[in-house]
Amino acid sequence: MTAPSDLTARSRHDAAQARETSLPRVAVLGAGPAGIAAAHGLARGKRAQVTVIEQKDSVGGNAGSFQIEGVWCDYGSHRFHPAAGPGVLAEVKELLGNDLLWRPRHGRILLQNRWIHFPLKPLDLILRLPKGFTFALAFDTLRKFLPSRAPAEDNFATVLRRGLGATLSENFYYPYVRKLWGIAPDELASTLAKRRVSGSSIGKILGKILRQIPGLKKQTTGGFYYPRRGFGRISERLQESATLHGARLVLGAPVRGIERDGARVRAVRYENDGKTVRQEVDCVWSTLPITLLVRMMDPPAPPAVLEAARKIRFRGMILVYLVLDQVRFTEYDAHYFPELTVPISRLSEPKNYSDATEPRDCTVLCAELPADPGDVHWEMSDRELGEQLCGWLGKVGLPVTAPVRMTLTRRLAQAYPVYDRDYEGHFKTMDDWLAGIEGLLTFGRQGLFAHDNTHHAMAMAHAACHCLRPDGSFDRALWSNYRLEFETHVVED
């Protein structure tokens, strides 16, 4: 005879299983920070039956990490900023515990052949900036109080010049964005200046500089959080916790199609282990590039939507990793190169992010080289790029004197969204059409064409989870309010 307590336990188990099978079936496409954070929120909150589908063999996307010769490396330079919202920051701290380090920022910017500390410090600016440059900045500041004629149409160049003046715009930001996005500053949308440049006015930059002064400096000013085993550890811990709470993860599975029945999603098709898998779903939450999402719809999207997807552009990036037979290359975590005389935009040394002491026989440098498939640099071999990098560094006073053990590269064809002056109309065409498909959601950096930080991507995931009602329906009105909030995100440098 079964004891009453056993019957009670069994009935509770059956009831829990019944609740779980009644939950909406959500396929999350992409396991970058936005996707894996959404899966974590849905699984942990018992809001859905979650399957994460990721084409790579690991989580994190471009915010992932890997090892080179025992050194934890990222896809470029990544920091977790203290500006993160309290909910996102609390989640990351809870998941990583003592493995989440607090690190002081210690970088440099090369400006007119002078190294200036970054974040900017008042004394460093006074002592190191060329006197002519300083006088020009002061003159630009005074000119802001004089009347001026507004431009006929705003773009990135006009917004920056109005906010920062000619000197800083022409000597710093204009060449930097030309390098990063591969087009002239006046061909970029004004949105980029408002969302990508956190110091978009003299007042904002002065405020940042003054906050570095002892007495005015907050505890979190001039620092960042960083996981002990690379930035990708954030996504890995989200994955581990999501799996623990019932989420299913399918890696090495490129998505091939999203089936819809009229205006409602029905299934996702993906490849895994050489086979095509068709999975029926109630909802698809996509963090894939919005252009790719549009092209995957079955039946196909209308011609006007497909044409808009064709006209949207992304900027590529080559990450060049140089392994050197020395403990440290410099004391700095990152060097910035805004001027066009050096093709790379930034050089980072991963061991200096986590203050790692091991391995003792080598260090790794990571150079970020903006380039698109088909460019001259894209066609170079790893060895050729390593030789080029050593030459560029030697010309700016950073000679590579230790033996180069090896050179590796990672090539990202879609590293940054390109905010050209026509992108908003093309994005709206795609976004409006996708919004009319029930059960489909696009979010994250690539999904909303937003060049945001990781904490912004995770905030989007939290918002999406909040919009999923207990009955499985999605609160579109609330999501629209969150979308307005996302537009206020400003990238932290």
- Provide the β-strand partners of residue 412: 317
pLDDT in tens, 6-27: 545 454 444 444 445 689 999 9
CA angle 238, 242, 247 (to 5 degrees): 145
Q: What are the residues whose beta carbons fall under 8 Å from the beta carbon of 413, sequence distance 6 or more?
A: 314, 316, 372, 373
Q: What per-residue confidence (pLDDT) applies to 209?
A: 46
Q: pLDDT tier at 199 (50, 70, 90 boundaries)? A: very low
For residue 77, pLDDT beyond 90: yes
**Residue 11 pLDDT:** 46
Q: Kindly give, in sequence order, each residue whose CB lies less than 8 Å from that of residue 44, ignoring residues fewer than 6 positions away.
A: 241, 242, 245
Would you state the pLDDT for residue 118?
80
Q: Average pLDDT for residues 179-200, to the nearest whole number?
A: 77
Cβ atoms of 367 and 320 within 8 Å: the answer is: yes
**Token pair recorded at residue 110:** 């090369």
Confidence of residue 116 (pLDDT cuts 50, 70, 90): confident
Identify the CA nearest to 121 among candidates 214, 191, 195: 214
Write down the pTM of the prediction.
Answer: 0.89
pLDDT greater at residue 42 or residue 200: 42
Give the pLDDT band (50/70/90) at residue 196.
Answer: low
- d(CA 231, CA 146) in angstroms, rounded, equals 46
| Per-residue pLDDT, 329 | 97
- Report the pLDDT averaged over residues 82-100: 96
CB atoms within 10 A of CB 18: 9
Listed residue (110, 113, 193) closest to 419, CA to CA: 193
Report how many helices (DSSP H) and strands (DSSP E) the chain contains, helices first: 19, 20
Q: What SS3 state is found at 404?
A: strand
- Work out the average pLDDT over 225-235: 97
Mind giving me the DSSP string for 295-362?
A: HHEESPPPHHHHHHHHH--EEEEEEEEEEESSS-S-S-SEEE--STTSS-SEEE-HHHHHT----SS-
Can you tell me the distance from the alpha carbon of 276 to that of 255, in angstroms, rounded to the nearest whole number? 10
Q: How confident is the model at residue 123 (pLDDT cuts 50, 70, 90)?
A: low
What percentage of the chain reaches a pLDDT higher than 70?
Answer: 85
The arithmetic mean of pLDDT across residues 363-376, rounded, is 97
For residue 19, what is the DSSP state?
H
> Given this model, what pLDDT does residue 219 score?
59
Find, among 238, 171, 211, the residue nearest to 36 by Cα. 238
Distances (CA, A) of 404 to 182, 318, 364: 30, 19, 10
Distance between CA 100 and CA 331 in Å, rounded? Answer: 21
Lowest mean pLDDT among 29-43, 126-140, 157-171, 340-354: 126-140
In angstroms, rounded to a whole number, what is the distance separating the alpha carbons of residues 61 and 84? 20
Sign of CA dihedral 162, 167, 172, 175: positive
Q: Are 263 and 436 in contact (CB under 8 A)?
A: yes
The pLDDT, as a whole number, for residue 208 is: 53
Instruction: Tell me how far apart the alpha carbons of residues 411 and 138 are, in angstroms, rounded to a whole number.
Output: 41
The percent of residues above 90 in pLDDT, for the chain, comes to 70
* Sign of torsion over alpha carbons 290, 295, 299, 300: positive
The lowest-confidence range among 198-202, 228-232, 234-238, 303-307 is 198-202
Supply the pLDDT for residue 30: 98
Which sign, positive or negative, has the C-alpha torsion 135, 137, 140, 142? negative
Between the alpha carbon of residue 195 and those of residues 169, 372, 452, 453, the distances in Å are 16, 23, 8, 11
Residue 202 has pLDDT above 70, yes or no: no
> How far is C-alpha 281 from the geometric centre of its chain's CA atoms?
28
Is-cis flag, bond preceding 151, omega within 30?
Answer: no
What digits encode the pLDDT tens for the residues 58-69? Answer: 999 999 999 999
Contacts made by residues 89-96, CB under 8 angstroms, sequence distance 24+: 89/455, 91/37, 91/40, 91/458, 92/225, 92/234, 92/458, 95/234, 95/237, 95/238, 95/241, 96/227, 96/233, 96/234, 96/237
Cis previous bond, 338, omega within 30? no
Predicted local confidence at residue 402, as pLDDT: 97
The per-residue pLDDT for range 274-290, each reduced to its tens digit, is 999 999 999 999 999 99
Mean pLDDT taken over the chain: 88
CB distance 35 to 52 below 8 Å: yes
